[in-house]
Structure 1
Amino acid sequence: MMTVARSRLRAVLARVGAQEDLNFLLTNRLPRRFATRFMGRFSRIEQPLVRDLSIATWRLFCDVDLRDAEETRFPSLHAAFVRALRPGARPVAPDPALLTSPSDAILGAHGRIEAGRLFQIKGLSYPLADLLGGDVTLARAHEGGCYATLRLTAGMYHRFHAPHDLHVESVRHIWGDTWNVNPIALKRVEALFCRNERAILRLRLAEGGHAVTLVPVAAILVAGLRLGFLPEGLALRETRGRTLLSAAHLAKGAEMGWFEHGSTIVVLAPPGFTLCPGLSVGSRLRVGEPLMRLPEPPIR
């Protein structure tokens, strides 16, 4: 019933030619920080009527599948957003030659990093150094490498996982805005990922010692970005942009953290990595599925 209602609503908006403009207006022309703070608080309300109505509204407007969740009932909308999955729900490709998807996502812009720039969407690029908070040295280390933009929709599973056996070398939080990161906004807001709040996770793979960087990017209604391998209680926003060194070692597929709504992860790999065959813009990925292939080891 909810699926039929959602389809009818979208069809009505499309007929009047208003769907894209209305989406952009509702998600970007309102006080984004205020809406995000409000959503962060409202979503945690555990009053049964509020919880049931908010979860029903979420499911009406988003494609939500809770069948693989560890819990069957949730105390709040927030708990449903950040739900854990039952064991075995996301098999991880064991091949050490594969870098797997850290999240459930839709593949967006991807390709080779050239002249220090990445594409946000076809025809619209941005400087990698800006995404990395001005870290020109790190940007140069990825020159000629491979990148993939992974978009998490509001209804998807919101936790992200280690794409390989790895050591987390450092984490840096960058304060920013909360623009929506959907395709409509990506076409209209230049260098959007460089404007939004984000974190830079520098990783060292166990296989070959390759340096990979993950950049989780927050968006409107994302009340927080949490990293489970950091000391308990540490709030990224309170670090004021300091680089936090880490000694965390994570196995492939281990949980790294979570968004508290949908958002984006930009995966940056060094030269020699290639996107797995068959993937293209719009491909749907799940945690643990092949994303990139590592370089062939040198012949000894």
Structure 2
Amino acid sequence: MNFSLLRLLCRTQQAAFVTLQYLLPHHLLSHLMRGLTRLRIGWLKNLLIERFIRLFNVNMAEAAQPDPRAYPDFNHFFTRALAADARPLAVGEGNVICPVDGTISQLGRLEYETLFQAKGHRYSLPHLLADHTGAVRTFQDGSFATLYLSPRDYHRIHMPLAGTLREMIYVPGRLFSVNPTTVSRVPDLFARNERVICLFDTDAGPMAMILVGAIFVASIDTVWHGTVTPPRRKTVQHWDYRQHPVHLQQGEEMGRFNMGSTVILLFGKDAVTFSDQLAAEGHVQMGQLLGSCANS
């Protein structure tokens, strides 16, 4: 079989995979997955965890609890804590650290109110931010980083900078997969999927951390609210923390995905310069240097 035919078959399979996602009942499947990952039937949860470790080559030596059988259910394993010394933080004046383990999907500057998703696809800042007028103005011509968490990655999310929470917004939506194949083929994917927008004040100015849901991501948690979704709502929900501020230190856990997904970081214009060692498709770990504050 020649190379051209193999490439055609691969493209056909990818197209079929993406097309199927338009037809699947995203939220029903995620609800079922949520139930499965919380079953506490000993032999079943052990089987699921051990197969998952082998399939995705998970490094349990980094976990605070390295024994797979010690977890009460699959979700506790999936959201496992790391050993204290597993992710040293790139501390330093003005440093911005990576909030997650994962792969850089894209990073760079916004073109006014437009973000780059993948080759051939861009999406709008107002749509991503659910038309929050103040936040849209804040991040026009700013910087963004889109970080994809694969199934094998550590799934807790940490603060890139010390910050004070201002607002949290839940935006209902679809649950398309956020893997590279789907991101390259579904227009406006990150602005279509369910998401939780967290707006902070930091030493670099305003910062948004957007936790994007995906198929089989049955739940998104934050440390100050607990589980934000489910339950799933049909309208945008808003929480204002300015009268009851939540302060988080750099590197402190701010949330987690119960199953994997994507984090999008937003900074204001000229607020942050990303490290020139980083590029799309590069692997990153929580705590490594992501960039620096322009005012440092």
TM-score over 0.5 for the pair = yes
Q: Mark the CA change 1:54 to 1:16 in structure 2 (over 3 Å): closer, same or farther.
A: farther
* Contact 2:101 2:154 (8 Å CA) reproduced: yes
* Contact 1:154 1:261 (8 Å CA) reproduced: yes
Cα deviation, residue 30, structure 1: 2.9
Cα deviation, residue 58, structure 1: 2.1
* Contact 1:96 1:164 (8 Å CA) reproduced: no
Q: Is 1:120 aligned with 2:134?
A: no
Question: What CA distance in whole angstroms lies between the structure 1 residues aligned with 2:158 and 2:113?
Answer: 27
Q: Mark the CA change 1:66 to 1:120 in structure 2 (over 3 Å): closer, same or farther.
A: same
Q: Is 1:244 aligned with 2:208?
A: no
Question: What CA distance in whole angstroms lies between the structure 2 residues aligned with 1:28 and 1:62?
Answer: 26
Task: Judge which range, 47-56 or 245-254, deviates more.
Answer: 47-56
SS at match of 1:109: strand
Cα deviation, residue 136, structure 1: 3.4
Q: Equivalent residue for 2:178? A: 181
Question: What CA distance in whole angstroms lies between the structure 2 residues aligned with 1:42 and 1:139?
Answer: 38
Cα deviation, residue 137, structure 1: 3.0
Question: What CA distance in whole angstroms lies between the structure 2 residues aligned with 1:25 and 1:79?
Answer: 32
Q: Equivalent residue for 1:219? A: 214
Q: Mark the CA change 1:143 to 1:263 in structure 2 (over 3 Å): closer, same or farther.
A: same
Which 4+ stretches in 1 moved above 4 angstroms? 13-16, 25-29, 232-240
SS at match of 1:154: coil
Cα deviation, residue 245, structure 1: 2.1
* Contact 2:195 2:210 (8 Å CA) reproduced: yes
Q: Equivalent residue for 2:274? A: 275
* Contact 2:104 2:279 (8 Å CA) reproduced: yes
Question: What CA distance in whole angstroms lies between the structure 1 residues aligned with 2:212 and 2:228?
Answer: 18
SS at match of 2:130: coil
Structure 1: runs of 5 or more not aligned? 1-12
Q: Is 1:64 aligned with 2:58?
A: yes
Question: What CA distance in whole angstroms lies between the structure 2 residues aligned with 1:193 and 1:233?
Answer: 21
Cα deviation, residue 176, structure 1: 1.1
Task: Judge which range, 195-204 or 28-37, deviates more.
Answer: 28-37
SS at match of 1:67: helix
Taking every aligned residue pair, what percent have the same amino acid on both sides? 28
Structure 2: runs of 5 or more not aligned? 1-5
Q: Mark the CA change 1:281 to 1:129 in structure 2 (over 3 Å): closer, same or farther.
A: same
TM-score, normalising length from structure 1?
Answer: 0.87
Q: Equivalent residue for 1:7? A: none
Q: Equivalent residue for 1:9? A: none
Q: Mark the CA change 1:28 to 1:147 in structure 2 (over 3 Å): closer, same or farther.
A: same
Question: What CA distance in whole angstroms lies between the structure 2 residues aligned with 1:202 and 1:137?
Answer: 11
Q: Is 1:110 aligned with 2:107?
A: yes
Question: What CA distance in whole angstroms lies between the structure 2 residues aligned with 1:233 and 1:282?
Answer: 30
Cα deviation, residue 29, structure 1: 4.4
User: Counterparts in 2 of 1:24-43, with a 5 A limit?
Assistant: 24=18, 29-43=23-37
User: Counterparts in 2 of 1:251-266, with a 5 A limit?
Assistant: 251-266=249-264
Cα deviation, residue 57, structure 1: 3.1
Q: Mark the CA change 1:274 to 1:121 in structure 2 (over 3 Å): closer, same or farther.
A: same
Cα deviation, residue 148, structure 1: 0.6
Q: Mark the CA change 1:28 to 1:180 in structure 2 (over 3 Å): closer, same or farther.
A: farther
Q: Mark the CA change 1:275 to 1:258 in structure 2 (over 3 Å): closer, same or farther.
A: same
Q: Equivalent residue for 2:3? A: none
Q: Mark the CA change 1:263 to 1:161 in structure 2 (over 3 Å): closer, same or farther.
A: same
Question: What CA distance in whole angstroms lies between the structure 1 residues aligned with 2:53 and 2:8?
Answer: 23
Superposition RMSD in Å? 2.3
* Contact 1:100 1:288 (8 Å CA) reproduced: yes
User: Counterparts in 2 of 1:1-300, with a 5 A limit?
Assistant: 17=10, 20-21=14-15, 23-24=17-18, 29-71=23-65, 72=67, 73-205=70-202, 207=203, 210-230=205-225, 237=231, 241-246=236-241, 247-272=245-270, 273-297=272-296
Question: What CA distance in whole angstroms lies between the structure 2 residues aligned with 1:270 and 1:219?
Answer: 26
